[in-house]
Structure 1
Amino acid sequence: MVTNLKPGRGRPRGFDPEAALAVGQSMFHAHGYEAVGLAALTEALGIKPPSFYMAFGSKAGFFGRILERYARSVLALEEILLPGRAPDEALAELLESAARTYAADPERRGCLVLEATRGGDDSESAILARRVAEERRGQIRAFIAASHPAMAGLVTDFVACAMSGLSASAREGMNEERLVAVARAHAAVLRLLLQRPDGG
Structure 2
Amino acid sequence: MNAKTRQRRPAFDREAGVAIAQALFHERGYDAVSLADLTEAMNIKPPSFYAAYGSKAALFERAMLRYAQENALPLDELLAPDRPPAQALPALLLAAAEQYGRDSLLRGCMITEGLRADDPAARQTAENLANGGIQAIRAYLDQVSPQEAQTLADYMAVTLRGLSASACNGMPYERLMQVARTAGRFIAHELAEKTEESTAASISSDP
* TM-score, with length taken from structure 1: 0.81
14 and 95 in structure 1: CA distance in 2 versus 1, 3 angstrom threshold: same
Q: Would you say the 8 A contact 1:70–1:112 is kept in 2? A: yes
Describe how 1:123-138 pairs up with structure 2 within 5 A.
Answer: 123-138=120-135
Which AA in structure 2 matches 1:100? E
Q: RMSD across aligned C-alpha pairs, in angstroms?
A: 2.5
Percent identical pairs in the alignment equals: 41
Q: Look at both structures and tell me which one has the larger radius of gyration over its CA atoms.
A: 2
Describe how 1:77-92 pairs up with structure 2 within 5 A.
Answer: 77-92=75-90
User: 1 CA distance for matches of 2:81 and 2:11?
Assistant: 44
How many matched pairs?
A: 188
Matching of residue 147 in structure 1 with residue 152 in structure 2: no
Matching of residue 57 in structure 1 with residue 54 in structure 2: yes
User: 1 CA distance for matches of 2:168 and 2:70?
Assistant: 20
Q: 1:100 aligns to what? A: 98
Q: Would you say the 8 A contact 1:102–1:110 is kept in 2? A: yes
Worse-superposed segment, 154-163 or 131-140: 131-140
Matching of residue 190 in structure 1 with residue 166 in structure 2: no
Worse-superposed segment, 42-51 or 153-162: 42-51
Q: Would you say the 8 A contact 1:117–1:130 is kept in 2? A: yes
81 and 70 in structure 1: CA distance in 2 versus 1, 3 angstrom threshold: farther
User: 2 CA distance for matches of 1:119 and 1:27?
Assistant: 14
How big is the shift at 1:24?
A: 1.0
Cα deviation, 1:40-59, whole Å, max 9, x if unaligned, reads 21222233333433332211
Q: Would you say the 8 A contact 1:155–1:193 is kept in 2? A: no
Cα deviation, 1:124-146, whole Å, max 9, x if unaligned, reads 33232222211211111112212
2:49 is paired with a residue of what secondary structure? Answer: helix
